[in-house]
A = this chain, B = another copy of it.
Amino acid sequence: MRVVSLSAALAGALAAVGATQPDMWAVYDAVLGAAKYVDLSHTIEPAMPVWRGFGNITFQPATNKLTGKPFTYAEDLFEATAYALTTDQLGTQLDSPAHFSPWRAASDEIPATYALSKLVVIDVSDKVATNASYGLSVADIREWERRHGRIPRRSVVFVRSDWSRAWPAVNTDVFPQVLLEAVKFLHLERGILFHGHEPLDADMTPAFDAESWVLRNGYAQAEGVANLHMVAPTGCLLSTGFPKFRGGLGNYVRFVAVCAQSWPHGVQPSAVAEAPMPAYARPLVWDAARGYRARE
């Protein structure tokens, strides 16, 4: 297999230059710097889909607590934004196990090693196209493995359903599911790091069967994942980053897939204006009707 032989070749290359541990910068130069980066997170904004029990979030221009006035570029040199977030279960997020069990890890107890992993994408969008509440099964996972090989230990497994391609006009009442048997198999038989899905819940059962089992057993799970139609089924990495709220039960998370240079989707660092980023033709101004800063 190509994966195995390349890994061995890489180890040989390191030995050849007398490096028992590789310099990460060389890895960046040889591989990561030319990779294709695919953003898998939704933008957080007031009008985004959220369960009605949580209510909507709001943004406001930040005010100076010493004067009571909003900051302005003209008078303060800068502006800032205040956020009223009714829930930590919002948009693209990573559930802390403590969301369902106080005995399990909160946001600040999830290890920093979650930052990087292998990414597996299992595509059930064809089945979802004819059954909007289709649930990923063990049979689907085994079928994927027949085509792509065994799911690696510690990989992150995202389930592609294409549900999120209608975002924000998604159906939050009927949605593609991940069956309890599937999450059990992925964790107990394959030893994955965590799984993720496009909808805002794992399944439609009244007791949240899959999510309950996952979180109460100390595993994290990702929800609201986007753009999985732009990621290869195997071979990409996943970059995972979220601010660490003390005792937090959910995490506003940025997922970025890092795929091979030859992959047709995503952007390369050299193909985009990173530093400096461009000047825009229209300024960003507070839009009270929409409740956020916009250029239109």
Contact = CB atoms under 8 A, between A and B. Distances in A.
Interface string A150-176: 001010000000000000000000000
Interface string A274-296: 11111110011100000011100
A240 B86 CA distance: 25
Interface residues of A, number: 144
Contacts of A134: none
Interface of A: 2-3, 5-7, 9-14, 16-33, 35, 37-39, 41-46, 52-55, 59, 62, 64-66, 73, 77-89, 91-92, 97-106, 108-118, 152, 154, 187, 191-194, 207-208, 212, 217-220, 234-237, 239-250, 252-256, 258-262, 266-269, 272-280, 283-285, 292-294
A182 B262 CA distance: 37
Contacts of A152: 25
B17 A24 contact: no
- CB-CB nearest 5 A-B residue pairs: A241-B241, A247-B293, A218-B276, A243-B252, A102-B283
A72 to B, nearest CB: 10
Given A100-B78, A193-B274, A280-B103, A246 B43 contact: yes
Contacts of A266: 112
Contacts of A293: 98, 102, 106, 246-249
Nearest to A40: B112
